[in-house]
Structure 1
């Protein structure tokens, strides 16, 4: 009988400061949400945590935080794209007192020596008490 040894999975590198732009360490900020130790209290906090998940390439969290009716089977993360900065431009509702909300943001990225940005107004709702991403409209 042969004995198989499980090869340890490489740890995903985590940044010291949180990619979401808040002045906190990743582990104490979005890292808690990614690990399932806490849930986003607002739509904006979920938006920030999803941006951070894109930045550190956490596909599992992106899928978990996506509404089941609009969630794709998987997220195609481009290995050549690096997310570098998030700007929150505004929000409507999305607090502890709401069931829905929107967050307008600009996410800046670098790819192949070029820079760009994604400008979107994202929609969020509560599903089973937790904030989830529904969809968004790209803006110029």
Structure 2
């Protein structure tokens, strides 16, 4: 079967890989935010490679960037939801006790939950940046070879 050129190939690939990435991000982030960041690099790479293959009229890096920019928000939402589910299972009193032991200062459950939510925001920003960067790099590499 012959490949046919349709407008919006990178956008379509980004939407598909956003859905796939959202589910994978959710599952990976159940293990922790670091696992979600690492999974984001691999999913972003796959997305960028497919986006570059879907568009023949654009440079590979631009196709990867477009696909990654479309897919990254869905991935980040899935990964953040996975981290929230994991934290809910642990519970804020247990998080507070662990933080109190590590830092050597008393921390309430509300403060621990606030710190956790701030860490989720930081993790989401890192995940989006790494996802888009790896998608762009994959798109550029796909068109080179």
TM-score range, shorter chain: under 0.3
Greater share of strand residues, 1 or 2? 1
Of structures 1 and 2, the larger Rg is shown by 2
Going by fraction, where is helix more abundant, 1 or 2?
A: 2
